[in-house]
Amino acid sequence: MEQVVVVIGDRLGKGQKVAKGVEAAGGRAVLIPGIGADMKLGDVMKAENADIGISFCGSGGAGAITAQSKHGYPAKYGMRSIGEGLTAIREGKKALGFGFMDVEELGSKLTEEVIKLKGGGKL
């Protein structure tokens, strides 16, 4: 099976801990550099042929909404917990918008879920 690709865009240029979690779970993290990176989420997802994209900003929505409107990625946004992210992946969402949550566990759990669903032919 191909390696799971996860794009990460953070409004404040962070996301390093989430990226570390993605890689710990066996995925490939593509961390968009710089301030306002969340707004480039859909463009980089498309360029990298990503399985999912994770956007972080105060409201938890701007990058995911932009990825949805510009590129058609099914999005869920305004999330504040890992559980919400797992549910969104199970519902087929690809662009995931969170409030600021640069934690390793978020990256690892979401990546593990994508790997599980891809392995079972559900993604």
Q: Where are the domains of the chain?
A: 5-102
In this structure, the chain runs to a length of 123
Give the pLDDT of residue 1. Answer: 65
Superfamily classification of domain 5-102: Sugar-phosphate isomerase, RpiB/LacA/LacB (3.40.1400.10)
In DSSP terms, 30 is beta-bridged to: 7
Give the pLDDT of residue 33. Answer: 95
Give the pLDDT of residue 121. Answer: 74
Low-confidence spans in the chain with pLDDT less than 70: 1
Q: How far apart are CA 81 and CA 87, in angstroms?
A: 10
Indicate the pTM of the whole model.
Answer: 0.95
